[in-house]
Structure 1
Amino acid sequence: MLTINSIKNGIVIDHIKAGFGMKIYKYLELDKADYSVALIMNAESKKLGKKDIIKIENNLEMDFAVLGFIDPNITINIIKDETIYKKIKLKLPSRIENIIKCRNPRCVTSIEKNVPHIFNLVDEKTGEYRCEYCDQIYKNKNVSL
C-alpha cells in the first residue's frame, strides 16, 4: 500500500482529473522544486472514479485561472499546521489571456507582435471560448462538468 504523509504547511491540489496531474506538475515547474512534492496519479475517488493529487510542502504563487482552465473541478487546499486553513474551488475562468493562442491566420494576434491572446468564455458546459479580436472559437476539451 502506498503511504504519503500529510504536509505541515503547503498546498494540496485535489480532485484533478486522472491523467492531468502531470500537466499541472509541469506547468508549476515542480520538477525544479527543492522542497517535497508528491504527485499521486490514479488515486481512487468516490466522486470521480480515479483522480490525481499533488501535495506541495511549500507555499507557491499560482495562477488559478490557468489551473481552472486545465481542469475546472480542481480544489486547492491551503495547509497550515497540518490542517486545512483555506479551501478554494476552481472553475473555468470567464476570461483568459495568453494561455491559448488564436489559430486564425487572419487574426490580429497572428499578424502583430505583442498583442495579447485574449479569449472570453462563451459556454461553460462545453468549455467554449471566443477570441476577443476575430471571434474564432476554441473548445476546451479538458472540461468535464
Structure 2
Amino acid sequence: MLTVNSIKNGIVIDHIKAGCGIKIFNYLGLNSADYSVALIMNAESKQLGKKDIIKIENNLDMDLTVLGFIDPNITINIIDDETIKRKINLRLPDKIENVIKCKNPRCITSVEDSISNVFYLIDEDRGEYKCKYCDEIYKVSDM
C-alpha cells in the first residue's frame, strides 16, 4: 500500500476524476514547484472507484473556475496546521473566458486575436457550453 504523509500547511485537491490529475498538475505549473507536491493517480475511492489526488505543501492562488471546468467534482481542502480549515466543492462554472478556443473557423474569435473566447454554460448535466459570439456548442467531454 502506498503511503503519502499529510501536509502541515497547503492545499489538497481531492476527488479528481482518475486520469485528470495530470491536467491539473500541468495547468498549475507544479512540475517547476520548489516546494513539496504529490500527484497520486488511480487511488482507491469508495465514491468514484478510482481517483487522483494532488497534495501541495504551499498556499497557491488558483483559478477555481478553470479547475471546475476541468473536473466539476473536485474538492479543494485548505490545510492549516495539519487540519482542514476550509473545504470548497467545485462545479461547472456558468461562464468561462479564454479557457477554451472556439473551433468554428467563422467565429469572430478565430479572426480577431484581441477578442476573448467566452463560453456560457447551457446544460450542466451534459456539460455543454455555447460560444458567446457564434453559438458553437462545446462539450466538456471534448476536452
TM range (shorter): over 0.9
Residue 113 in structure 1 maps to residue 113 in structure 2? yes
Identity percentage of aligned residues = 72
Question: What is the CA-CA distance between 1:89 and the residue it aligns to?
Answer: 0.1
Residue 95 in structure 1 maps to residue 90 in structure 2? no
Contact 1:70 1:142 in 2 (8 A): no
Distance in 1 (CA, whole Å) between partners of 2:19 and 2:56 is 18
* 1:126 corresponding residue in structure 2: 126
Question: What is the CA-CA distance between 1:142 and the residue it aligns to?
Answer: 7.1
Q: Structure 2: give runs of 5+ residues left out of the alignment.
A: none
Distance in 1 (CA, whole Å) between partners of 2:105 and 2:44 is 43
* 1:26 corresponding residue in structure 2: 26
* 2:76 corresponding residue in structure 1: 76
* 1:37 corresponding residue in structure 2: 37
Distance in 2 (CA, whole Å) between partners of 1:100 and 1:3 is 36
Residue 61 in structure 1 maps to residue 53 in structure 2? no
Q: Name segments (4+ residues, structure 1) moved above 3 Å.
A: none
TM-score, scaled to structure 2: 0.98
Q: Structure 1: give runs of 5+ residues left out of the alignment.
A: none
SS at 2:26 equivalent:
helix
TM-score, scaled to structure 1: 0.97
Distance in 2 (CA, whole Å) between partners of 1:142 and 1:92 is 15
CA RMSD of aligned residues (A): 1.1
